[in-house]
């Protein structure tokens, strides 16, 4: 397959559109994420966000995620302790 000038132009335009889209998303990240949350899509709260500026709902969701992670890690630790024979 021969790569033509049309292929290269299409690739360059695609990369440019992606870069502009990413820039616009990052510039309006909080608004876009909130819009997606309002539509029922679970978007994780950004780690860069200050806890003091979060809403109560966001803080509760973050707390639940952390509790789930702790429970999973404890369960894995318990499973490893049971499956590993003690000498």
CA distance 81 to 63: 27
- Domain of 20 in residue numbering reads as 1-43
At 5-55, the pLDDT tens digits run 999 999 999 999 999 999 999 999 889 888 988 998 887 766 667 788 888
Q: Is 61 found in the same domain as 24?
A: no
pTM (whole model) above 0.75: no
CA distance 25 to 21: 6
pLDDT of amino acid 23: 95
pLDDT of amino acid 46: 63
Q: Is 53 found in the same domain as 66?
A: yes
Q: Is 62 found in the same domain as 26?
A: no
Q: Is 38 found in the same domain as 50?
A: no
pLDDT of amino acid 84: 65
- When divided into structural domains, the chain yields a total of 2
């Amino acid at each position: 397959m021969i790569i033509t000038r049309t292929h290269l132009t299409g690739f360059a335009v695609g990369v440019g559109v992606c870069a502009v889209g990413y820039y616009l998303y990052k510039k309006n990240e909080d608004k876009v994420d909130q819009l997606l949350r309002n539509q029922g899509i679970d978007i994780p709260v950004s780690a860069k966000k200050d806890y003091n500026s979060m809403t109560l709902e966001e803080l509760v969701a973050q707390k639940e995620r952390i509790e789930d992670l702790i429970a999973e890690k404890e369960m894995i630790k318990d499973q490893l302790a049971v499956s590993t024979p003690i000498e």
